[in-house]
Structure 1
Amino acid sequence: MPAISRLAAAATLGLACAAAAANGAPGRTWANPIDIDYRYNYEQMNEGVSYRTGADPAFVRYRGAYYLFQTLADGYWRSDDLVHWTFVKPDRWPFDGPVAPATLVADDKLFLMQAAMEPRPLLYSTDPDHGRWDFWTRLLPPIPGATPAGHEAEMKPGDQPPGPWDPGLFRDDDGKVYLYWGSSNVFPLYGIGVDLALDRTAEGEGKRVRFLGKPRPLLALHPDRHGWERFGPDHTDDRTVPYVEGAWMNKHRGTYYLQYAAPGTEYNVYATGVYTADAPLGPFRYAPYNPVGYKPGGFVVGAGHGSTFEDAYGNDWNAGTMWVAVNWRFERRIDLFPAGFHEDGQMWVDTRFGDFPQRMPDHRLGPGESTFTGWMLLSWRKPASASSALPGHGPELATDEDVRSYWVAASDAPGQTLTLDLGGPRTVRAVQVNFADYQAGRYGDAPDIVAQFKLEGSADGAHWSTLADLSRETRDRPNAYVELDRPARIRYVRYVHGHVGARHLAISDLRVFGNADGPAPAAPELLSAARGKDARDATITWKPVPGAVGYNVRWGLAADRLHETYQVFADHPTTLELRSLNKGVRYVVAVEAFDERGVSPLSRTLTLSP
């Protein structure tokens, strides 16, 4: 290769340092689903079903660090910055893989409770960094009046179900502790006061926990009034009774926010709702802006059953459960979104571009300040080629923004490649490699369950340079997000395989982020927005924008509060049937377009009258 060509190729692979500086130092961005080593399940091993999973996240900040507990993991994760996570294997873990765990920080102790149908341990730690846990009590006392597990068939109307399943713990400003729980399509969510004997010495572990009074029913679903509480994909199943679950409590300026998940974790519309009250056990009022956490469209879908917490700078975050459901209906991942409260108390969760790269702030965010980097999706429907593929799992499936379809290489041997043609020079800033579990055949943990690969870039498809080298990675990264050390000006991106712990090399999507040259697209023309005969439904129609990659249909209670988003890609009709509205609530609707260059201005707004 002539020297001048080598210099030209090098120039195209790196942008000016000034451009990188203008976008902030690398290492502070992430993309959903969050990049952790999701554990291989062992729950379905007797059925022979193998997959990585993560669900029902409980995030908590303790002694300056963040901890993440989730369903069916043989440990938990620790982070200093909410971006880089390290798995912690406990030295004392009496759980058989906790489900939907609850956390509580009280008296400089970190408490952990698992979901249970009968009395189980309550653990605490003052050294979670090193996995050291002790019993606060080896067996929680039975919930007053609860039916013993296994006797549900004998229950009469008004009886208390066994529990606490899907627990949530909350400590009020006065030091009093409360437990919230429930997961059922029959029973409501419940709450009760708890005495953890924090302010006095208790004789023996068994005396350290006492329930105060009787459980109170707090909230139930009303899908006949709340469209988003209906079951099925896009809330299309009116026959199946939906589930209420995933209780979590926050307090903000004297108001109590009891969050819950509905209508079920099996679909794209799994969401978080909220009721508010002036006291920790109610009475609770339904929030008309529900669902508060909702992400039915895009690559990552689902935002229900999670937790809301505050970071070191005073910013609020909401975590939820993403739907995968390829190998098992409960195959899931974890997502994380900015959240907050308006001055009048309205809670919000921002899922707009929630699966595009976000920048983790190092300060208190100002009103309206976004964490979205502005790095656009460059890989959607782009031509893809591979070194090999199994029938029915071609490389084109790695660019369709569908987590439930995937390329499978004919071999998992090192050196297998997957190459994308971005269609012209692009400024690439990050790549996300989303592995799939095709006949994975793994359960639990093992030293060889790691993800190792290289990412390469090229301006001409002939001369390649390394974008990122993870060939010596020591952990599994099913959803590996790689922010490049510096932006690269390239046309081609290539994945070069090293190793995965699964039986096959399978990638659901190789997602590339950055920007194409030129101005952002024009605003779409919003043609109509009309409520249906059923006031829970509406139909929204807009004109296509030439060259658009997709659209965000946005709605909310006011033009400056369009907190709900449904992302629609350009290969779908420019009409959306929205089935998530609340009866009796007035909405404002708008649409924006996006492409590889940026995001358009909003369309005009239209009103959906009650």
Structure 2
Amino acid sequence: MKKIFLLLIIVCSITFGYSQNKTYCNPINIDYGYCPIPNFVTQGKHRATADPVITFFKGEYYLFSTNQWGYWHSKDMSDWKFIPRKFLRPEHKVYDELCAPSVSFINDTLLVVGSTHTKEFPIWMSTKPDGDNWKELVHKFEAGAWDPSIFWDKDTDELYLYYGSSNLYPLYGVKLNRKTFQPEGEVIPLLALNDDEHGWERFGEHNDNTFMQPFTEGAFVTKHNGKYYLQYGAPGTEFSGYADGVYVSDKPLGPFEYQAFNPFSYKPGGFARGAGHGATYQDVNNDYWHVSTVVLATKNNFERRLGIWPAGFDNDGVMYSNTAYGDYPTYLPSGKKEHTGLASFTGWMLLNFNKPVQVSSTLGGFQANYLTDEDIKTYWSAKTANKGEYIISDLGEVSTINAIQLNYADQDADIMGKPATTTGHKYIIYHSNDGKKWTVLVDKSKNDKDVPHDYIELAKPARARYLKLENIKMPTGKFALSGFRIFGRGAGEKPAAVQNFVPLRAAPRIKGERRNVWFKWQQEPNADGYVIYFGKDPQKLYGSIMVYGKNEYYFSGLDRTDAYYFAIEPFNANGIGPRSEVKKAE
């Protein structure tokens, strides 16, 4: 009987996609290509991609993004395999051969097209995209669309194109002929930014600059319960405030109305910041996820990575994504039907925020403390890429370690584009309780994979105070990391509830001031940081902001005319403290 029961569990796990113990951590760990554009690498060669689309097609997830000279596929959203492919013809002498691509499917056929204004790019098709099996569906796509998104309405068997990328023009929509795939009928303006009303649409790192008009881009449509959700990115890809909003309509070409809760995808704080210009997709269990762009913007404004966030629609049809603790270990699809709150979060906390670090050497101003400051824009670099360069992280106490993330920087990289082969990142991680006697915890000394954001979920939790990362070999550049992040649980107490949390909204004496709010609270001595939740309904606090080491925060992302509700919770290496009562700001 026991054997039958165990067999049923295994069958259910395979059938329904259960993998409760399998996790990932943003930025996702894929072999990002290096920027191929010469004038974008004057401050250093670096990895870069953005504008992602994921679709679940014939039992696998397919991931396309800007200028990677290929794409990835995966059966579990964890182990991504790259397929080299250039989606252009010999006469197209461009770097942007697949910039902000459209990826969609019709029945058993996957469709791909890149951005262009020339009206000469083809639409590519494949029924077996798990290999390099592509042919032209349309030789010259006459739309000439930048940031295109082809949407197939399977309920009506109709096709639509949504597109646009501008700080002047709106996003557009047009119907496509079902047989020729070319535009037919009127091109309709669908939405434009309104940053006078929507604070989060303002230009700037924190939606706080007015010297330049904000950009709208990245149109993408999801149909849910008979409604069309038109998603868009704003205000600019180089900012931590990069986000996705959504308008809703009963018809594919509108008119569209601004969703009451926006932006629905937003992550201005923490390690992996920015959650704009993305796409929403369903997994093997039909649960929703949102993939989007994560901002680095260190060596170039367009230095970026990718993040994946749990998403969904609530009972009132409100579209949301959950980015709270979104760059901490998160469960992969597991048959769970609830993404709101902390349902997808493992509860493994960051153990080494601002903790002591020892290193083998330091190159110039790339100091060791940057390894644990939870800022992806800063990084430490050793003087060399030699075997034996190392990092030692002191957790301060013996802790339970569940997972580790290594975020490599591109110091003195010498690669452009997508290399045909790489040597992989080779390293060993040791653990110790006294910093003297070391035992191997992770051995990747023979690794041949390119793992720029390597994430290791330990098969069995370890107990240690010290972790040592020893370099064996780098694929390019020096041994350099923006974050040596260790996750698990400390041995101490969680922080207590935050006291005296007050959201102060600006008075409406000056036009637009109500788009801003100033949070002030009493510092909780045991907290490493805080998560501030916000929304226009006390039961729908879907927005979140992660703040480290402060007791105040200026937020410039409100819609001017609406009341808001806020709450705050503290966290540290030992867990998450109690959430405050909800406060209203008129």
TM-score, L = length of structure 2: 0.92
Match of 1:40 among 30, 34, 38: 34
- Pick from 410, 425, 428: which aligns with 2:398? 425
Q: Could you say which residue in structure 1 is the equivalent of 2:150?
A: 169
- Map Cα deviations across residues 31-61 of structure 1 (whole Å, 9 max, x no partner): 0000100111111368544100121001011
User: Which position in structure 1 is the counterpart of 2:478?
Assistant: 504
After superposition, what is the alpha-carbon deviation per residue over 1:427-462, rounded to whole angstroms, capped at 9, x for unaligned?
Answer: 011110001112212112142352111111111111
Cα separation, 1, equivalents of 2:269 and 2:199? 17
Deviation at 1:64, TM superposition (A): 0.7
1:239 — aligned with what? Answer: 211
- 2:70 corresponds to 1:75: yes
Secondary structure of 1:592's aligned partner: strand
Partner of 1:356: 328
Q: Are residues 1:462 and 2:436 paired? A: yes
Instruction: Find the aligned partners of 1:218 and 1:424 in 2 and give their Cα distance.
Output: 56
Q: Take 1:131 and 1:93, find their aligned partners in 2: how far apart are those partners?
A: 14
1:386-425 equivalence runs, <5 A: 386-425=359-398
1:563 correspondence with 2:542: yes
Distance 1:68 1:184 in 2: 25
Residue among 537, 542, 546 paired with 2:525: 546
Q: CA deviation at 1:559?
A: 2.3
Is the alpha carbon distance of 1:554 and 1:504 closer, same or farther for their aligned partners in structure 2, counting shifts above 3 Å? same
Residues 396 and 92 (structure 1), Cα distance of their counterparts in 2 relative to 1, 3 Å cut: closer
1:451 aligns with 2:430: no
Structure 1 unaligned regions, length at least 5: 1-23, 144-162, 198-207
Kept after mapping to 2: 8 A contact 1:106/1:171: yes
CA contact (8 A) 1:90 1:132 kept: no
Of 555-564 and 430-439, more deviation after overlay is shown by: 555-564
Q: 1:410, 1:286 → 2: CA distance?
A: 51
Report the AA paired with residue 564 of structure 1. G
1:595 and 2:572 equivalent? yes
2:462 to 485, 488, 491: 488
Of 80, 83, 89, the match for 2:84: 89
Match of 1:222 among 168, 189, 194: 194
Q: Is the partner of 1:374 in helix, strand or coil?
A: coil
**Aligned residues of 1:295 and 1:302 also touching (Cα < 8 A):** yes
Q: 1:398 to 1:366 in 2, by over 3 A?
A: closer
Counterpart amino acid of 2:370? L
Paired residues in the alignment total 554
- Contact 2:496/2:524 (<8 A) preserved: yes
Aligned pairs (5 A) from 1:252-271: 252-271=224-243
Shift of 1:370: 1.1
User: Residues 111 and 123 of structure 1 are in contact (CA less than 8 Å); yes or no, is this contact kept in structure 2?
Assistant: yes
1:577 aligns with 2:554: yes
The answer on 1:194 being equivalent to 2:211 is: no
- In structure 1, distance between residues paired with 2:40 and 2:532: 43
Instruction: Tell me the SS of whatever aligns to 1:352.
Output: coil
1:437 paired to 2:410 = yes
How many angstroms apart in 1 are the aligned matches of 2:515 and 2:86?
50
Query: In 1, distance between residues paired with 2:533 and 2:330?
Result: 19
Shift of 1:25: 7.4
Of stretches 261-270 and 600-609 in structure 1, the one that deviates more from structure 2 is 600-609
What's the CA shift string for 1:391-413, capped at 9, x where partnerless? 21122211111111111111101
The answer on whether the counterparts of 1:229 and 1:235 sit within 8 Å (CA) in structure 2 is yes
- The residue number in structure 2 matching 1:16 is none
Q: Which amino acid aligns with 2:198?
A: H
Match of 1:123 in 2: 124
Contact 2:202 2:214 in 1 (8 A): yes
Is 1:112 equivalent to 2:112 in the alignment? yes
Checking the alignment, whether the CA contact within 8 Å between 1:450 and 1:477 is kept in structure 2 is yes
Structure 1: distance between partners of 2:480 and 2:359: 12
Distance, in Å, in 1 between the alignment partners of 2:171 and 2:469 is 47
Q: Distance in 1 between matches of 2:503 and 2:40?
A: 50
CA contact (8 A) 2:69 2:87 kept: no
Task: Give the Cα separation in 2 of the matches to 1:389 and 1:283.
Answer: 57
> 3-state SS of the aligned residue for 2:361?
coil
Please state if 1:381 is matched with 2:360. Answer: no
1:349 and 1:425 mapped to 2: Cα distance?
35
Instruction: Give the whole-Å Cα distance in 1 for the aligned partners of 2:449 and 2:275.
Output: 26
- Matched letter for residue 401 of structure 1: E
* Equivalent residues of 2:40, 2:300 under 8 A apart: no
1:222-269: CA deviation from partner (whole Å, max 9, x where unpaired): 000000000111111022100000000001101110000000001100
Q: Is this contact kept in 2: 1:524–1:544, CA < 8 A?
A: yes
Distance 2:217 2:37 in 1: 20
Which is further off, 527-536 or 275-284?
527-536
Deviates more, 1:503-512 or 1:93-102: 93-102
Q: Residue 130 of structure 2: SS of its match in structure 1?
A: helix
Q: What is the Cα deviation at residue 93 of structure 1?
A: 5.4
What amino acid maps onto 1:188 in structure 2? P
* Partner in structure 1 of residue 3 of structure 2: none
CA drift at 1:520: 2.2
Q: 1:282 aligns with which of 251, 254, 257?
A: 254
**AA at the equivalent of 1:167:** P
Q: In structure 1, what residue type is equivalent to 2:28? A: I
Partner residue of 1:140?
A: 141
Moved more, 500-509 or 352-361: 500-509
Structure 1 residues 312, 194: closer, same or farther in 2, change over 3 A? Answer: same
Whole-angstrom distance in 1 between the partners of 2:75 and 2:88 = 23
Structure 2 Cα separation of the partners of residues 78 and 196 of structure 1: 27
Whole-Å Cα distance in 1 between the matches of residues 475 and 139 of structure 2? 36
SS of the counterpart of 1:39?
coil
The answer to whether the Cα contact below 8 Å between 1:526 and 1:604 also exists between their aligned partners in 2 is no
Quick one: distance in 2 between partners of 1:506 and 1:84?
24
